[in-house]
A = this chain, B = another copy of it.
């Protein structure tokens, strides 16, 4: 058995994105204890910087000690009780995963379905609320990583509020990449991932909960169906003045990395980061169109950071093309997922991967392999 040495790839898939050397080096700093006072201070900075990235003042804001899927589960496990009706919008893989979460927590999922590649239809959500007046949660994906579509989170949250429901939002691919205004839009529960527009390695899932969501959690009649993700326990570690109580052992070095990535985001400025993703998307778009590649999603709903594209008709083995990109050019782009498997590629421009150099490299390589 020998040490592992990965190749150097250019990551332009649906995440992980390229991780800057600064973040990798931050993660290689000496491990200290998860209850060390110096570490607790770092946690407090992490929470403050996450609030800035989420545009929220929510006290209950921290990274779950596991990847984005666990962040999703943290939101549903804490907010849904057996018998609860939850309206869930499905227009891609991750809406479907939300439904699974609701059902495993004993909730009743009321589906609002839209075509893959289309945004969530507001009228259908309105109709669902009218048909199911007991529903107290609306769950939807802000930026669908499987299709590259952006739904109107602001309008959806307003609809939820009108009907006395909390909003629960998947922002895995949006945080740090496009406008995401948790407080202004009135999002009640939101989860994200470290490995997308924050450019960290995967492994942490930033979450944030409004006071109304925290209240619903405090008023639960049943215990959360997960000890690991039970916020009433987790928060003894993440909140409180000074001393914190052990719940689980936090992934210390991964948190160093997330801290550094948030410092970098702060240095660039959140609005500047959003603008960069938009600008790079336009550059990629014009290059892809020159190569004859079209988009799955209509222009007004396209995510800059996740470009689902249809490959040219002469491509018969799309996997072979991706393999060539990886093996000959060290470039990773994403395959289609779920209903779009084998039908599209997903080209990510997330975090550090949203750069001129990456786009030039990717377009140059695509040109060669599509010759």
Decide if B226 touches A27 in the complex (CB within 8 Å): no
Contact (A67, B24) CB under 8 Å given A1-B49, A9-B32, A332-B32? no
Considering the chains assembled together, what is the distance between the CA atoms of A4 and B261 in angstroms?
11
Q: List residues of chain B with CB within 8 A of the CB of A240.
A: none
Q: Does A28 contact B (CB under 8 A)?
A: yes
Decide if A251 touches B201 in the complex (CB within 8 Å): yes
Contact (A225, B3) CB under 8 Å given A32-B9, A253-B203? no
Q: Report the nearest B residue to A33, measured CB to CB.
A: B332
Given contacts A6-B256, A201-B253, 11 further A-B contacts (CB under 8 A): A2-B263, A4-B42, A6-B38, A9-B30, A13-B33, A24-B253, A37-B326, A65-B66, A104-B226, A251-B251, A254-B254
| A and B contact pairs by CB, cutoff 8 A, 14 listed | A6-B256, A9-B33, A18-B31, A24-B31, A32-B332, A33-B332, A34-B202, A36-B332, A65-B66, A69-B228, A69-B248, A70-B70, A104-B225, A203-B253
Decide if A195 touches B249 in the complex (CB within 8 Å): yes
Decide if A249 touches B1 in the complex (CB within 8 Å): no
Mask of A10-36 contacts with B, CB within 8 angstroms, 1/0: 010101101100101111111111101
Q: List residues of chain B with CB within 8 A of the CB of A55.
A: none
Considering the chains assembled together, what is the distance between the CA atoms of A103 and B326 in angstroms?
47
Decide if A31 touches B4 in the complex (CB within 8 Å): no
Considering the chains assembled together, what is the distance between the CA atoms of A327 and B259 in angstroms?
23
Q: List residues of chain B with CB within 8 A of the CB of A246.
A: 337
A residues contacting the other copy or chain, number (CB 8 A): 79
Decide if B227 touches A67 in the complex (CB within 8 Å): no
Q: List residues of chain B with CB within 8 A of the CB of A39.
A: 6
Decide if B195 touches A266 in the complex (CB within 8 Å): no
Q: List residues of chain B with CB within 8 A of the CB of A38.
A: 6-7
Considering the chains assembled together, what is the distance between the CA atoms of A202 and B306 in angstroms?
31
Q: List residues of chain B with CB within 8 A of the CB of A31.
A: 6, 11, 16, 18-19, 24, 195, 201
Decide if B30 touches A3 in the complex (CB within 8 Å): no
Decide if A226 touches B30 in the complex (CB within 8 Å): no
Tell me which of B27, B73, B263, B337 contacts A3 (CB under 8 A).
Answer: B263
Considering the chains assembled together, what is the distance between the CA atoms of A202 and B257 in angstroms?
14
Q: Does A371 contact B (CB under 8 A)?
A: no
Considering the chains assembled together, what is the distance between the CA atoms of A203 and B31 in angstroms?
12
Interface centre among A2, A11, A254 (most CB of B within 10 A): A254
